[in-house]
Structure 1
Amino acid sequence: MTTSSALDSFLDKWRTRWPEWSVAEPFIPEHQRNLVVAWFSLLQEFDDILNTAGDPLPADAKLAWWGEELRSWAGQRSRHPLGRLLEPVRAPWAELAQTLPDLVEARAVPVDAAHAQKALMAYAAAVAAVEAVMFDTPARDDVATPVLLQTLSQRLQEAGVAAVPRSLLAQDDGNAPQRYAAELLQPWPARVAGPRPRRMYASLARTRLQAFAAGRAPQVTPLRTLLRTWWAGRG
């Protein structure tokens, strides 16, 4: 497989997981579109490692490899196809790499919602710092929170009960995942802080979590997605 086709396969894998993005993407400047998808594809790699089931050793080894890969980007020595688009961005890659081991620790069932957030806060802040450079937006104290909520949301939807805090599981009414989803939605506004791609991506993720909290499959329509992401992406 050529470098170009390998890169396309990673971008297409993320687009397949997020088909709503095809409606939202026209609100992103054309020259940024592949960069945005490459970045979200990388974050999906980390989400998959965080939410792995079964033997964690292969996922942990992959995460260690990614740590080395990100550190190499400062010297323009990327090996992964995604580096073709991401490496030229002079972002704090090494700082992001430093937080990756937190994903391993975050697999443990949290005591409560606050514990779940604390476990991934440094990682979310590092992601937000990369996005501030990548999308040329001012650094703000509140931009890590949308990243954190979205990471926890995807973990809940992919890992299920394993992601639910013990404080909610103790109530034992069989509805703990939905109640946890409702907790995550409380501090999550319809339009979050951060660069436009993050605001739009967060809007799509929030819509999915709302459906999960209601116990139903997401009902995605192009018109609603168009209006929602246009509004979320407004400056």
Structure 2
Amino acid sequence: MNTPDDASSAGDPAAFVAKWRGAWPEWSLVEGFLPAAQRPLIEAWQALQFEWQEAAWRGEEARPGEAKLRWWVEELDGWSRGLRRHPLGALLQKQPAPWREVALALPSLAATRERPLDADAAWASLEPIARAVAAVDEALLQRRADAHVVAATWLHARLARHPESAVPQSLGTGDAGIRAWSHALRAGWPRASGLAPSRGIEAALAASRLKRGDASAALPPLAALWAGWRGARG
């Protein structure tokens, strides 16, 4: 099977990073709160999560995304054995992270494509992948991680980019449902300290977007800087 998006093993990771940055234009303002030496690794890790999310949630048909997730299971299993095909692996594969555990959790992500029944189901559906992603956070970034915070950032990502399928059925549809789920997410946003600055920044930006009432709208520069500073400080 070819790599997703017809990328070759000699491809440029920057193309994948650019897709993730397109969803987070604020990042160019707040990345200064991160050590310069860590930024390429952080960008690759964020871009990789973006790829998995889009495979699970994007498009009208489920099969293309399911095929991508199966490919990623094989790819991550290869990473655990010293092999790689995807360009992001040039930055990530050699890192001492539990890639095999992520491979085992990825199949559960395909089931999250359907609208959850209620808020509890939305959170619960992401538990397996959130735990695996949190374990990688700890390995890559050498700081404690919180799977509940990871799940929160992923729920925000889905609402921001795929709102029609993100809103729990119990909250209705259309703009009213989106507003209700935005409010519920913000009300249940986890508080955590001591996280890696990059995860703290992402969580703070997401929470600030929700507080302003639009999960997909980039924050104004001053608001982004304030959120980024708070997130980096933990």
TM-score between the two structures when normalised by the length of structure 2? 0.88
Give the C-alpha shift of residue 13 in structure 1. Answer: 2.4
- In structure 2, the partner of 1:196 is 197
Instruction: Give structure 1 regions of 4+ aligned residues with deviation exceeding 4 angstroms.
Output: 1-5, 189-193
Q: Which digits, 9 at most, give the CA deviation of each residue in 1:191-213, with x for residues without a partner?
A: 655211100111112222333xx
- In structure 1, the partner of 2:155 is 152
Quick one: which amino acid aligns to residue 209 of structure 1?
L
Q: What secondary structure is seen at the aligned counterpart in 1 of 2:97? A: coil
CA separation in 2, counterparts of 1:184 and 1:7? 32
- In structure 1, the partner of 2:223 is 224
Quick one: which amino acid aligns to residue 25 of structure 1?
E
CA 1:193–1:119 in 2, change beyond 3 Å: closer, same or farther? farther
CA separation in 1, counterparts of 2:83 and 2:220? 42
Counterparts of 1:107-126 in structure 2, within 5 Å, are 107-126=113-132
Quick one: which amino acid aligns to residue 115 of structure 1?
A
Give the C-alpha shift of residue 161 in structure 1. Answer: 2.9
CA separation in 2, counterparts of 1:174 and 1:20? 24
Give the C-alpha shift of residue 67 in structure 1. Answer: 0.8
Gaps of at least 5 residues in structure 1 are: none
| Identity of matched residues, % | 36
CA separation in 1, counterparts of 2:116 and 2:205? 26
Tell me if structure 1 keeps the 8 A contact 2:9–2:84: no
Tell me if structure 1 keeps the 8 A contact 2:9–2:85: no
The number of residues matched between the two structures is: 228
TM-score between the two structures when normalised by the length of structure 1? 0.88
CA 1:220–1:153 in 2, change beyond 3 Å: closer, same or farther? closer
Tell me if structure 2 keeps the 8 A contact 1:191–1:203: no
- In structure 2, the partner of 1:45 is 51
Give the C-alpha shift of residue 2 in structure 1. Answer: 8.1
- In structure 2, the partner of 1:178 is 179
CA separation in 2, counterparts of 1:227 and 1:127? 26
Counterparts of 1:205-224 in structure 2, within 5 Å, are 205-211=206-212, 214=213, 218=217, 220-224=219-223
- Aligned Cα root-mean-square deviation (Å): 2.3
Q: What secondary structure is seen at the aligned counterpart in 1 of 2:12? A: helix
CA 1:218–1:52 in 2, change beyond 3 Å: closer, same or farther? closer
Q: Which digits, 9 at most, give the CA deviation of each residue in 1:171-207, with x for residues without a partner?
A: x795111101111111215765521110011111222
Among candidates 3, 26, 32, match of residue 26 of structure 1: 32
Among candidates 104, 109, 112, match of residue 110 of structure 2: 104
- In structure 1, the partner of 2:62 is 56
- In structure 2, the partner of 1:73 is 79
Quick one: which amino acid aligns to residue 169 of structure 2?
R
CA 1:119–1:227 in 2, change beyond 3 Å: closer, same or farther? same
Tell me if structure 2 keeps the 8 A contact 1:190–1:232: no
CA separation in 2, counterparts of 1:203 and 1:234? 11
